[in-house]
């Protein structure tokens, strides 16, 4: 995959940041705006690297600013990303979503895809609630 970053930051782009949260023991991604398919997929693969490098069982995705994930990318997440995440040891995936809007509906579609892979996933309205839930699995590792 690559060399583990010394500062635990895997992605720092205008549309996405991904880092290892050593305090809470999970990968944290923050979607900052629109990402095209190539950017979305490359960013998600960096998330796999973060899971692998840190043997992370938990992942929090702050998707409040994410607007849409096209069907081709949803299919890629289901068929490619999810098996890689499970193989890397991921067990819980928490999404923080906006209260309303297209982004929330998109994430609900992704959660349905994720659940079919045997990975626990839920949506939350705050980072704190998402961290609390994923910390339950992180504490058992």
| Mean pLDDT, all residues of the chain | 85
Whether 117 is in a domain gets the answer yes
CA–CA dist 45, 11 (Å, integer): 10
Whether 3 is in a domain gets the answer no
Whether 64 is in a domain gets the answer yes
CATH number of the domain bearing residue 58: 3.30.750.24
Whether 4 is in a domain gets the answer no
Residues 6+ apart with CB under 8 A from 139: 25
Beta-strand runs (E) in 22-136: 26-31, 58-62, 92-96, 120-124
pLDDT, position 137: 73
- Phi (first) and psi of residue 102, to 5 degrees: -65, -40
Whether 2 is in a domain gets the answer no
User: Residue 38 is part of which domain span?
Assistant: 9-138
pLDDT, position 85: 93
CA–CA dist 115, 31 (Å, integer): 21
Whether 58 is in a domain gets the answer yes
Whether 104 is in a domain gets the answer yes
pLDDT tens for each residue of 31-61: 998 889 999 999 999 999 999 999 999 999 9
- Phi (first) and psi of residue 97, to 5 degrees: -120, 160
pLDDT tens for each residue of 80-133: 998 999 999 999 999 898 765 555 556 566 666 665 556 888 889 899 999 999
Whether 1 is in a domain gets the answer no
Reported pTM:
0.85
Question: What total number of domains does the chain contain?
Answer: 1
Relative to beta strand 26-31, strand 16-21 is: antiparallel
Pair 47, 59: CB distance under 8 Å: yes
CA–CA dist 50, 11 (Å, integer): 10
């Amino acid at each position: 995959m690559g060399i583990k970053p010394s500062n635990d930051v895997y992605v720092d782009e205008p549309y996405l940041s991904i880092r290892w949260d050593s305090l809470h023991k999970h990968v944290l991604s923050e979607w900052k705006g629109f990402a095209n398919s190539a950017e979305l997929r490359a960013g998600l693969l960096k998330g796999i690297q973060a899971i692998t490098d840190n043997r992370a069982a938990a992942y929090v995705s702050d998707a409040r600013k994410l607007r849409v994930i096209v069907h081709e990318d949803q299919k890629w997440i289901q068929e490619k990303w999810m098996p890689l995440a499970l193989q890397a040891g991921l067990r819980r995936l928490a999404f923080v979503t906006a209260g309303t809007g297209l982004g929330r509906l998109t994430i609900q579609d992704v959660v349905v895809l994720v659940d079919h892979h045997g990975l626990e996933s839920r949506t939350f309205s705050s980072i704190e609630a998402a961290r609390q839930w994923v910390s339950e699995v992180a504490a058992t590792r």
